[in-house]
Structure 1
Amino acid sequence: MNKYAVQLAFAYMGVIIGGGFASGQEILQFFTGYGMASIAGTLLAGLLFAFLGMQIARISTNLQAQSHKDVLHLLFGHRAGAIMDILLTFFLFGVGVAMLAASGALFKQQFGFSPVIGSVFMTVLIVLTLCLNVKRIIHLVSLATPLLMALVLVIATYSLYTSSADIEQLLTLSQDQHTVAPHWALGAILYASFNIAVGFPMLAVIAGRSRDIKSTSRGGALGGVGLGLLILLLNVSLFFNLNQLQGAELPTLMLASRLSPVVGILMTVSIACMIYSTAVGMFFAFSARFSRPETGRFRLMSLSCCSIGLILSFVGFTTLVGSVYPLLGYLGLILIGAVFVNWFRDRCKPASAEKHVA
């Protein structure tokens, strides 16, 4: 597996983890609350991420996609694709705004600063990043992923080693957790649908810049497997410490701080990096929808949309998440369905129908 495939995998993971991993609350509500069945849920989500990542990367490379619009037109046709494009573009911007608000909330909770300081800091960082070339953006977005994986592995090991509650107590506590769906499988599918809608635009642009379908497909699949592994480890860590996480808004940060103040600081930095990765991915894909990357128009578009996003972020993180995320989840379900239909149609075609772009 070549270097580009690994970078694509890390970038794919990096865009998604900011919206789906940062606080740990997402894992609690979509997985841990289902008790032992949550393990099956994490495996299902991981399989979906791997399959969808591979298929989206393959389609994007085949099309040499310049933005997610090209892929949507293939999946849905011209008219329906145009509607999906408008909806997804709108929600991309909304998630980017939510990440700016999340940065403000993190600075307030951890350092006692005004949320405005955190949001402005992240906005400036994002604009500077978007002024770089695409390869450097991919590199920067993928940097946070190895740090997060290492921290989650350390926290999971420590959590299992120091857990003081028995299984019966943990199962009882898990039943009291709020969950997003009546069944673990539906929770896993909903989690994948929201996050794939977040990761799809950036993945489409990155994979579209390569001509090697095999490498990009492998990168998409590897990123999905990595996401599944992270979900599994974090879910196990949270489950075995439910007795100490009651009422925690940022359970991952609480686990890290219990291990060591130094690890707590590292987790704070990691969360900031996750927010940064997702925000860059969202504003990059949004700007790429209207202008070609690495051009003056693209940089001007990036500056404009980030500035507007900064103003809108003052509405507050909780409010934005409550309004943007659920609707994006429904959009993600439609996208997943279209990818599966496209895959099934390709399976029915002769092997020579899809050529390898050398």
Structure 2
Amino acid sequence: MKDILKIGSAFIGVIVGAGFASGQEVLQYFTSFGIMGIFAAIVASALFAYVGMILVWLGSSMKTSSHKHVIYKISGRYLGFIIDYILIFTLFGVGVVMIAGAGSNLNQQFGLPVIIGTSVMTILVLLTGMLKVDRVVAIIGGITPFLILFVIITSIYSFINADGSFLALNDVAKETPTTLPNWFISAINYVSFNTAVGASMAIVMGGAENKRKTAALGGLVGGFGLGVLILLSHLAIFSKIESVGSMDMPMLAIVNNISPALGTIMSVVLFAMIFNTAISMFFSFVARFSKVDTAHFKRLFAGTMIVAFAASFIGFTDLVSYFYPLIGYLGLVLIAVLFYAPLRMKSIKKEGYGDGEEYPKKIVNS
């Protein structure tokens, strides 16, 4: 049970970034549809539970330390090539966004120069990247309970001190601007984007777990737990929509209303969630090109962090933001492939490419 909870907590930590922790993603994807956001959260919960279970199970089944072999095995030569390289771009791009976001977070909350936040984040990620996979997973999972605690506290406070009746709040919530057409597509889009972002690290996590059943249950628990957090966050923001609906960080605003001291702690939690996403992205990125826990991996990781640190100051984050919709569409392809993955695994074993064996070189090296 301990290992299942560790994997589940780490999966939540991989998926949940600053956007979720701040409440802005929940506001846009769920609360903007009012009461129907509850149904969107339920749909997202079911999808996250399945996606988490399959991703971590695949990593454990194939005993891999990179998404590379898994993607080619379940997607085939051509589709695998496309997914692989867009994932590579996604990992590095989102990682750079997180470094830049760390600078903005400390600048907004404490008035510190942006370079301090980006430097601290880069150093923390670099040091963590030198550790073994199981230690990285433990660190990511260890931060998640603090977010869960704050979400629960915020939700209880919001329910007790709601801005009005649900029917009245529903009208206010639906006035929140969103680019998404309806609650169902919004839920699918949210899961697809996060699948593209979190797939690589989820596979790496699975590869570090020898027991496939434990890996699968860990992913299932993590995905379901993520869905519960979405639902609680949605209800919290919905209950206080009149006072925080226009805020960039609605969850942080609610916590600040409870207590300024808690608001300060929450900003630290936000920084930690940014770290979670950053280490997940860069660790998976480097693992794609080098064997984990080797000297070459550490050198490549250090070089990657230097480039990422520089990129965070030259507007690279703006460039990446234009590709986020593309990442979301990629996620739809990944989800479709993941639903087919169990059947594909059966055919792979019949062909003789069992657990721990690499896909034929002519395909992997294409």
> Is TM more than 0.5 here?
yes
Alignment correspondent of 1:311: 310
C-alpha contact 2:121 2:275 (8 A) present in aligned 1: yes
Does residue 72 (structure 1) correspond to residue 71 (structure 2)? The answer is yes
**How far 1:116 sits from its partner (Å)?**
1.3
Please give the residue correspondences for 1:169-318 in structure 2 after superposition, counting only pairs within 5 Å: 169-315=168-314
The 1-side partners of 2:316 and 2:348 are apart by: 46
The 2-side partners of 1:274 and 1:345 are apart by: 34
C-alpha contact 1:98 1:320 (8 A) present in aligned 2: no
Counterpart code for 1:138: V
For residues 313-352 of structure 1, the C-alpha deviation after alignment (integer angstroms, 9 at most, x for no partner) is 12459725632422211111110011112245569999xx
The 2-side partners of 1:180 and 1:296 are apart by: 45
Gaps of 5+ in 1: none
SS at match of 1:35: helix
The 2-side partners of 1:245 and 1:337 are apart by: 36
Gaps of 5+ in 2: 357-366
Alignment correspondent of 1:90: 89
Distance 1:154 1:316, change over 3 A: farther
**How far 1:169 sits from its partner (Å)?**
2.5
SS at match of 1:333: helix
The 2-side partners of 1:307 and 1:248 are apart by: 33
The 1-side partners of 2:318 and 2:142 are apart by: 29
C-alpha contact 1:213 1:356 (8 A) present in aligned 2: no
Further displaced range: 200-209 or 159-168? 159-168
Q: How many residues align?
A: 355
Counterpart code for 2:80: G
Give the fraction of aligned pairs with identical amino acids, expressed as a percent.
Answer: 38
TM-score, length of structure 2 as denominator length: 0.92
The 2-side partners of 1:214 and 1:33 are apart by: 38
For residues 256-311 of structure 1, the C-alpha deviation after alignment (integer angstroms, 9 at most, x for no partner) is 10011121112111101100000000000001011111111111111111111111
The 2-side partners of 1:292 and 1:52 are apart by: 25
C-alpha contact 2:252 2:266 (8 A) present in aligned 1: yes
Alignment correspondent of 1:131: 130
Counterpart code for 1:30: Y
Distance 1:124 1:91, change over 3 A: same
**How far 1:75 sits from its partner (Å)?**
1.8
| RMSD after superposition | 2.3
**How far 1:99 sits from its partner (Å)?**
0.3
Alignment correspondent of 1:4: 3
TM-score, length of structure 1 as denominator length: 0.94
The 1-side partners of 2:317 and 2:92 are apart by: 16
C-alpha contact 1:127 1:302 (8 A) present in aligned 2: yes
**How far 1:28 sits from its partner (Å)?**
0.7
Alignment correspondent of 1:111: 110
For residues 153-191 of structure 1, the C-alpha deviation after alignment (integer angstroms, 9 at most, x for no partner) is 000000111113222321111121122321111100000
The 2-side partners of 1:47 and 1:347 are apart by: 24
